[in-house]
């Protein structure tokens, strides 16, 4: 059987220093890191325009600050930056990993749809809990907050369990 021959782009040690440097830079220049799930604030603004009674009836939307922030651009910029980075990198990028092809086939549409739904569920769960995946995990662990470390451990445990359920055992 052909094993995954993909190598990491960066060794983990310099990558860890680079990530730590970015976090320190963000703290030093802008304050605590931004929230990628802040798009909910934009969603609140849209709902206030098209369904004001609904937006006002939900406690979740009432406790959010008003719309008009840069957070939607932040979320769109992450996707656009990832796409440009992947397409301009010297190494070829696989849109559909081999492990996915072995289990579900080569369809890019299925892979993109599953990735979108998975990402949406993570963001929805984080917002439902009143938190943010980026804020608690990256910001919390870099500050050695017990809640951030605990959340990170839970994320990895659930990710491993989910991978086992989705991909099954190696054959």
| pLDDT at residue 61 greater than cutoff 70 | yes
Query: What pLDDT does 152 receive?
Result: 86
Output the 3-class SS for the chain. Answer: CCCCCCCCCCCHHHHHHHHHHHHHHHHHHHCCCCCHHHHHHHHHHHHHHHCHHHHHHCHHHHHCCCCCCCHHHHHHHHHHHHHHHHHHCCCCCCCCCHHHHHHHCCCHHHHHHHHHHHHHHHHHHHHHCCCCHHHHHHHHHHCCCHHHHHHHHHHHHHHHHHHHHHHCCCC
> Over pLDDT 70: what percentage of the chain?
75
Whether 68 shows a pLDDT value over 90: the answer reads no
Token pair 């099954």: residue: 168
**pLDDT tens digit sequence for 129-146:** 766 766 677 777 777 888
Confidence at residue 130, expressed as pLDDT on a 0 to 100 scale: 67
- Measured in residues, the chain has a length of 171
Residues 76-123 pLDDT 10s: 777 888 888 888 877 777 889 888 999 999 999 999 999 999 888 887
Distance CA 160, CA 7 (A): 20
Poorest-confidence range of 24-28, 37-41, 90-94, 167-171? 37-41
Residue from 44, 43, 42, 22 nearest 33 by CA: 22
Averaged pLDDT, 14-36: 72
Query: Looking at the predicted structure, is the pLDDT value of residue 59 above 50?
Result: yes
The per-residue pLDDT for 2 is 47
**Higher pLDDT, residue 76 or 153:** 153
């Amino acid at each position: 059987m052909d094993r995954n021959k993909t190598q990491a782009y960066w060794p983990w040690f310099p990558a860890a220093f680079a990530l730590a440097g970015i976090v320190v830079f963000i703290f030093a220049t802008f304050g605590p890191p931004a929230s990628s799930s802040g798009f909910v604030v934009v969603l609140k603004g849209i709902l206030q325009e098209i369904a004001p009674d609904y937006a006002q009836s939900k406690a979740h939307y009432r406790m959010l600050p008003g719309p008009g922030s840069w957070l939607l651009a932040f979320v769109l910029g992450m996707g656009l930056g990832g796409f440009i980075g992947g397409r301009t990198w010297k190494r070829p990028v696989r849109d559909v990993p081999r492990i996915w092809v072995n289990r579900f086939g080569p369809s890019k549409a299925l892979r993109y749809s599953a990735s979108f739904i998975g990402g949406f569920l993570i963001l929805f769960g984080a917002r439902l809990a009143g938190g943010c995946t980026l804020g608690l995990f990256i910001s919390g662990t870099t500050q050695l907050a017990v809640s951030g470390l605990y959340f990170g451990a839970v994320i990895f445990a659930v990710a491993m369990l989910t991978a086992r359920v989705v991909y099954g055992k190696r054959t």
